[in-house]
Amino acid sequence: MERGRGGAGRWRVIERPRSGAPRKPRTAVPLGDKLALIDIKDAGHTWAKTHTMFRLEISLSAAHDIYEKREEYKRRAAESEDLSSPRLRRSYFEQVCQGLWD
């Protein structure tokens, strides 16, 4: 809990979200959709318009993150990576385990 200074010298309490609060589920975005978002933004649309035109329900901050990494996504597309399926996430443990089996 954090205390913030309210108007007229009064103290108000600002509560932080609890760690047990449910989180929004992660939306896996395929590379093709990331490239589509980048194309929409590069066409000169505002962030609000780009966000409403995009077909997946992602946060505005996630859209910003995708656009910031646009060079990486364009490189991956140029390397003929599959555009239709999201990239699989592998944990460090899975990498080590696979390395031991190889």
50-61 pLDDT, tens digit per residue, is 888 887 888 889
12 in a structural domain? no
92 in a structural domain? no
9 in a structural domain? no
40 in a structural domain? yes
Q: CA-to-CA distance for 98 and 88, rounded, in angstroms?
A: 15
Q: Provide the domain count of the chain.
A: 1
The percent of residues in the chain predicted with pLDDT above 90, rounded, is 24
Which residue pairs from 31-35 have beta carbons closer than 8 angstroms and sit at least 24 positions apart in sequence?
31/73, 31/76, 31/77, 31/81, 31/82, 31/83, 31/86, 31/87, 32/83, 32/84, 34/66, 34/73, 35/73, 35/74, 35/77, 35/83
44 in a structural domain? yes
32 in a structural domain? yes
38 in a structural domain? yes
57 in a structural domain? yes
Range of the domain at 82: 24-86
| Mean pLDDT over each residue of the chain, to the nearest integer | 78
The pTM score is 0.60
Q: pLDDT at position 44, please? A: 93
59-86 pLDDT, tens digit per residue, is 889 899 999 999 999 998 888 877 777 6
- Higher model confidence: residue 28 or residue 81? 28
What is the rounded average pLDDT of the residues 11-39? 77
